Every structure is written in C-alpha cells, then in structure tokens.
Structure 1
C-alpha cells in the first residue's frame, strides 16, 4: 500500500522544507522512515525518487510504499473475531473473557491474534496483528489494533480508554481518584502491588451504582501500568469481584469483573485511491477525525448487580 501526503500551502518558505522534516509533520516515525529507505523502495516527490535530505514545496505530493511485513502468527479460523469498527488505519475488536490477546509462553496459540490473522487473510489484508492496547486474558471488551506500521505509533499516542469494574464492598457514589505507585510484587512475574519503589500510577473513577454489596465503577487509567485498575482497588480494600490474584472472591463470577467499555482515538483525514491512501497533512495527535467506540456491560457482570 502506498501513502500520499500533499505539502500544504502553510509551508510557504522560500527554500521549501526537507523531506525528513516534512515526514515528521506527517507523523511518520523514524523507524518507519528508515524501513522505507532500506526496504520499501524509498520516497517520491510527484512520482520522482527523492532523498530524505532533499526539499519539497507546497503543492507537491510526497509518497512512499509501506515496507513488506512478516507473516504474523498462525491463522486459526475456528477463533471467531467480532469487528466493531474499522477504517484504513484502525480496527477495533470485541474480545470475550478467557481469551488471550496474543501468543505467550503459556498460550502459544488459540489467541485473539490467531483469530485476527485468519479474519484478515479472508479479507485480503495483512495478517499482522498490532494491538494498541492489551487487556488481560480474563478481561473482556474492546481491543484497538493498527492496520499498518504507519498507524501504530499514531494511534498509541492519543488513545483514551474507559473500563467498567465491579469491586467488592460499597463505595460512595460519585468520582474518586487512586494515586499510588505500582511495582512488582516480590519476585512474582505476574503479580503487582502498590509500593513506594513502583512507578507513578493514577486511576480516576466514578462509582455509578451500588448493589448487592458491590460497586460498579467507570475507570480511566491515566497511566497504563500492568493490572493497574485491579491493583489500585485492591490496595484500598475493594478488590475486583472474581479477581482471586488480588483478593477477590470467585463465588459469583469466574473471572475478574473488568471490561474495556470505551475507546476514543484520532485517525487522519484521508481519501482512498486504488493503490493506497491520500492523507491530509499535517498530521499530529491533536488533529484528524475523532472516533469513539463503545461496548456495553457484559452479561456476566450485569448479573452480579441484578
């Protein structure tokens, strides 16, 4: 696939602008620019080959082909994939609980990535899975993935997430904040805890409902630490229902009651052409089209509150 960027009139300079500088304004990462140079055939200005230290001028069109990719993980058509949103840059999947996002030592196959690879090949697309957010195996909800190497860092810079969590005990209705550093728990590879030696971590939440000795919280993880929401609520004496790793009970639900319910991100304004995409420039985390995708509270979590 080829990407096209038109040099805007706002770059009204007598000597134009260097290709490498224009690429930065187009949100082309240094890693991608290097791959284009050495693996993807280089850059073109109005169809003519151009080096990164040359100049382009308003009205010119800079283009390049995305470099070839590896094959990705083994496709598994038996793993159903529910796509809830897609465009030229992003795809959002609805992940059920008890399904790992991507292969690991403990889960070498049977993951969302394997199902995505099969789905993408059926669509005639790259099977490479680039999740922007990774949620735990037993957490349900939305997973945002980048469609190509250009989109991956762009999406990662501006995505905002909201989770629903059901925690044990009754908390006051309304907003709250847990601001406490998180680090590894002893020598555990998986476990985390609040510790002065940890990294700064902040979770903002709103208690929406209290019922049956449980509280429904809408949580925004301002930082993105491993198990952040789970660890933070456990640290204040309100572990997530079903989260036995951090002290929650499993008598009413067989997994941690955590669901990625909303993702908001930006994608560039673009026009599709037969061989690629024409992208309006400049592109940055503060420009483009805002996309919001939502997912309702899953049935097993809703049953806890009924």
Structure 2
C-alpha cells in the first residue's frame, strides 16, 4: 500500500481532534447511500435566537447566494424583546410569527431552542424541551421536530432524556465537528462561525472551515452563529461580521460547486430518516457515547439515565 493511501485510510485522532476514527471509515454499507440528487456532501447554516436584525444583515446575503437558513427560536421570546441580562443579545428584538413564517416560505427551517434559554436541567426538561415544543407548534402552526440545545452543551444530556418521547427527530448541539451519515441524529454537531475565539486556542475566522473534511467523508456541515453585523461582530466568539458571512458563502459556492447539497437542517434530517441505506448505517454505527468528543457527556448522561 502506498503511503498516501495508508494515511487516508487509517486516520486516527486523539481526544483533542475533531473526529473519532470511526467517522472516517467508509465501509461497504455506505455504498448504498447517496445524498439528494447525487450530491457528495451537505451544508446548512443556523441562527440561534432569530433576531430581527437578520433581515438587514444576513437574509439579503442568503437571497443573493440562494442559501436557505435555519432559525433556532426560544419559544417564550417569539415576537418580543430578548430580556436575558448577561447575554450578548440582551435587548435585541426577536422575530414574530409572521416574520418567521415568511422565511419558512423561502425554504428556511425552524427548531426549538427551549422555552426560556435558561439552560436545560433534569428538573426543567419537561418545560424547556417538551412543553416548549408544543407551545411553539401552536404559535407557528407547524411541526417542530428539531431541538437546539441552549447555552452550552451541558443541557444536552437532560434534553436527551425527554426529546425522543416528545417527538423530536434530532438534537443540535455546539460540538464543533462535521456530521456524517452514521452520526446519531440526537447528537448533531455544529461548527461555530466566529471572528475570533479566545485562548487557549486562539482561532480566527476561516471561510473554508469544515469544507474539505466534509467533502472527503461525505459529511454534513452545520454552521452556527447568531446575527452577523457590519464591520464588527456582536461578540467575536459567537458571531462573524456580515462581510465574513459573505466570504463564507463565497467559499461554499467556490469549493462546493455542484458537489454540495445546500439545505435546511429539517430537510436533511428527513432525508436521512427516510433513506434505507442511511438507516442501516446508523443502526450499526458505534455508540455516540464512545466518541472521545463526548467523554464528559458519557458520564453525565449515564448518571442521569440510571437515576
């Protein structure tokens, strides 16, 4: 075997890496799977909170590049001013029902980002995850089948305990990774779009982040941000500027070309749920709790489930 072939087939990452080695294994089962219309990889982008300023600074870019988006909405904040002291987006106005529905008509998607954004715990999961879904469906008059964990990933484990029974098909987190066909839909990662991340890692905006990996493994990039603003982000570790968002879209079109399927998260989840080959691969996939990315999560979820 040539060295380059050996390297491409035996990639192994440590706990500091982006992916477990299983995600690189393109075994016989995946040969029966293709993304929609024969595309080789997938791109989605999400906006937590759904602030009205998106209509000024982001949605025009979506229309320009013909890229659908996705809103992760806090149920009790629909149509209100966000009152959450300490949040970078405290005081921002959130879209109302009609504004949200207008974007759905443009092929955008919606997920539930909890009832209040207070953080999901075992004690409040029934309200923040289950009741939030029912109330949002009543307000928006549409099914809500994805839950987006608010705050940090600490709320993921409590969400898992109730999400499936509540009727959710997927959970989106902020694990920074590219998803693959065998990724558990209740453990979807999202890649943070940020201008600059603080120490100890000190990362800067990269318009091509995740694209090469996704193209190599037939993966799914889900971008995560809040509300890009011109010239300066609201929070450099949580957002990009409008200019950087446009660079991201330009890079997507340049690198992805005809190979990338650009779609809302709901559409991708539905596709995976209804594709026989995808179902087979996920049924034989490693337990997501064995992923080095989730060592802390493994301990937390195990304790909660047993308790």
- TM-score, normalised to structure 2's length? 0.23
Report 1 or 2 for greater relative contact order, CA contacts < 8 Å, sequence distance ≥ 6: 2
The structure with more helix, counted as a fraction of residues = 2
Structure having the higher Rg? 1
Identify, as 1 or 2, the structure richer in strand: 1
